[in-house]
Chain A
Amino acid sequence: MDRLHSVSIIPDLCVGCTNCIKGCPTEAIRVRDGKAVIDDIRCIDCSECIRICPYHAKYAKTDNYEAVFQNRKKLKVVAVVSPVLYTQFARPVSRFAVLAAVKSLGFDYVYEESIAYASYLDSIKAQILEAGEATSHLSSDETMDILPLVSSTCPVVVRLIQMKYRTIIPRLIQLVPPMESVASFARQELEADGIDASLIRVVYFSPCPARNTQKAFPLGIAKSSVDLVISVHEVYSRIVRTIEDINVGEAVGHDSTIRCSESVYLSCAAIGGESESVGVSQFLTVDGIKNVMDILNEIESEHLEGISFVEPFACFGGCVGGPMTVMNRFTATSRLREIAFEKIPESAQDCIDQDKIFSKKWSEELPDNKAMQLSDDIVQAMSKYDQIDQLLSILPGLDCGACGAPSCAAMAEDIVQGRADFSDCIILRKGDK
């Protein structure tokens, strides 16, 4: 079976404490033989388990930094930089110093992810306005059939919807994510310059593991344009020592290999940035995976009245709260606000280049994720459902987690699906004596 996630376990550090199984929003973790195991289909890379684990036995798997320049020869290596990277550095380290430092690591080209945002936000706005138009003659109940639309920027949220909230799929704003737009734009530009496609390597600096998974299993597009994903903290650790020595003016002045956006688009790396930049008045922002689930439930039940646009992020604070960062999200958010208002220095004006990149709609439908379904056959599913019901009346209902499942209900399902055994319940075993 394909591995659809990048959140991983270090078995040597895992003590089987069951903290993680309780915090997992898709019940994707079980403790088996004293070690946590992640279900490949259910895990959506939300990283709750990374945050919860007291033993640091969970981590976000990415590519190795060594792979970036491996077998380089004639390769052109392109960095696509998430704005979150800038927020890891305190004043006075400017965004342009960071870009220059990235170049000095050996990258041939540096593209800011934010160059995709001008067109991305325009497209979001157009879709909201179109939906608003379509509902203008409808009652408020009927309007809730269509609105709110939901941002697809956070890949964890898209995968959550794909698995547990499939009625919301039509409300997703189905646009190619900025990371992919920029990666494919960079490829086009380089190929237009006569560089052979096989000689281009695109590396994305990511705040979250879900974008690493997106590289191998893209959502809404057939194939990713990104070759490697490296974490923001990895890049941070490689430039932090040299960065203060960089003379920004010299470093990025009239550098034709750096592509930048206007400062304002950087704000989309924190929650609310997207909504405020889109400029619709009736928006709702929600962060934290559990809160996101509450709001998705509201949307699904059509109780969210008077809202046109929902901006959900699995991480608290948005992408600045991603697990592959160094700086806490509060400091990072504060820094982001500052950077998003920064005047671009004269010497870097030439690098501003965001008008040639256009947002595209998804070319592929979101495949079904049937992880929550008991069986493909409804008769069989109903029989399993009955068996689960019967088991639930026997299991103690304490949800203690000692069997390795997060709840007695999850345990009952595991037994029926042949993934666990009755004897794993220590409460029942105790009663036997």
Chain B
Amino acid sequence: MKKSLMRLGVSPANVKRAAIAMYEAEINAVIHGGGGVAVVSVSPTEVKIEIIDQGPGIPDIDQAMVAGFSTAPDTAREMGFGAGMGLPNIKKNVDSLNIDSKPAVGTTVTMTVHFN
């Protein structure tokens, strides 16, 4: 995605924001959701990134947004993940963030980065 946005002429700062947000959301989907699907759509004014997993869902989204709160298993922490910074870091980098989560059905994280 990073390379694609660069080729489209998106400014480096916006590419960076989108790339960091996408990376964090992917990591979440892998650690908590057992993997998932990424859908990226680009318009001349923004990029929308959806990360969709079919994992257990997030019981308390407000709590998940708190920096440092983490439910990541030890196996993830051993690899350097799971510091509870993912969602806060996404929020910091994107212009809009929507989390749609249902218990036992899955989570869809939708993020948008505006280009100007």
Chain A interface residues (CB < 8 Å from chain B): 139, 141, 164, 166-167, 169, 300-302, 305, 370, 372-379, 381-382, 385
Given contacts A139-B85, A302-B20, A385-B4, contact A166 B12 (CB under 8 A): yes
Give the distance in Å from the alpha carbon of A142 to the alpha carbon of B61 in the complex. 23
A378 contacts B20, C-beta separation under 8 Å = no
A139 to chain B, nearest CB (A): 7
Find residues 1-31 in chain B having any chain A CB closer than 8 Å to their own CB.
Answer: 2, 4, 6-10, 12-13, 15-16, 19-20, 23
Asked if B89 is an interface residue, CB under 8 A from chain A, the answer is yes
Q: Which of B7, B20, B80 contacts A385 (CB 8 A)?
A: B7
Chain B interface (Cβ < 8 Å from any Cβ of A): 2, 4, 6-10, 12-13, 15-16, 19-20, 23, 42, 44, 80, 83, 85, 89, 115
Does B12 contact A381, Cβ atoms closer than 8 Å?
A: no
Give CA–CA (A256, B103) in the complex, Å: 82
Q: Known: A378-B44, A379-B44, A382-B44. Is A370-B9 also a contact (CB below 8 A)?
A: yes
* Cα(A376)–Cα(B10), bound, Å: 10
CB distance from A374 to the nearest CB of B (A): 5
Interface contact A169-B8, CB-CB below 8 Å: no
* Complex contact A372–B89 (CB within 8 A): no
Residues of chain B lying within 8 A (CB to CB) of residue A169:
12
Given A167-B13, A167-B15, A374:B8 Cβ within 8 A: yes
B7 touches A381 (CB 8 A): yes
Known contacts A141-B89, A167-B15, A300-B16, A381 near B2 by CB under 8 Å: no
CB-CB under 8 A from A139, the residues of chain B are 85
A169 to B15, CA, bound (A): 14
Q: Provided the pairs A167-B13, A300-B16, A301-B23 are in contact, do residues A381 and B8 lie with their beta carbons within 8 angstroms?
A: yes
* Residues on the B chain within 8 Å of A164, using CB: 6
Alpha-carbon distance A141/B89, docked complex (angstroms)? 8
B interface: dominant SS: helix
B16 CB to closest chain A CB (Å) equals 4
A166-B6, A373-B9, A378-B8 are known contacts; what are 16 more A-B pairs with Cβ within 8 Å? A141-B83, A167-B12, A169-B12, A300-B19, A301-B20, A301-B23, A373-B6, A374-B7, A374-B9, A375-B9, A377-B9, A378-B10, A378-B44, A381-B7, A381-B8, A381-B9
Could you tell me the distance in whole angstroms from the C-beta of B27 to the nearest C-beta in chain A? 11
Shortest beta-carbon contacts, A-B, top 9 = A166-B12, A167-B12, A381-B8, A167-B16, A373-B9, A378-B44, A374-B7, A379-B44, A141-B85
What are 12 A-B pairs with beta-carbon distances under 8 A? A139-B85, A167-B15, A167-B16, A169-B12, A301-B19, A374-B7, A374-B9, A376-B9, A377-B9, A381-B8, A385-B4, A385-B7
A328 to chain B, nearest CB (A): 35
* Cα–Cα distance between A382 and B7 once the two chains are bound (Å): 9
| Assembled-state Cα–Cα distance A302/B19 (Å) | 10
A163: nearest residue on chain B (CB-CB)?
A: B6
Interface centre among A139, A164, A167 (most CB of B within 10 A): A167
Q: B9's contact among A301, A305, A378, by CB below 8 Å, is which?
A: A378
Hey, which chain A residues are within 8 Å of B89, CB to CB?
141
Complex CA distance for A147 and B115, rounded to whole angstroms? 25
Q: Which residues of A contact B2 (CB under 8 A)?
A: 300
Whether A382 pairs with B42 at a CB distance below 8 angstroms is yes
- Partner of B8 from A166, A305, A382 at Cβ < 8 Å: A382
Docked complex Cα distance between A305 and B81 (Å): 12
The residues of B that contact A377 with a CB separation of less than 8 Å are: 9
State in angstroms the CA–CA spacing of A377 and B12 once bound together: 16
Cα A112 to Cα B56 in complex, Å, equals 66
> Using Cβ atoms and an 8 Å threshold, which residues of chain A touch B80?
305
Kindly report which residue of chain B lies nearest to residue A389, judged by CB atoms.
Answer: B4
Considering the chains assembled together, what is the distance between the CA atoms of A393 and B64 in angstroms? 41
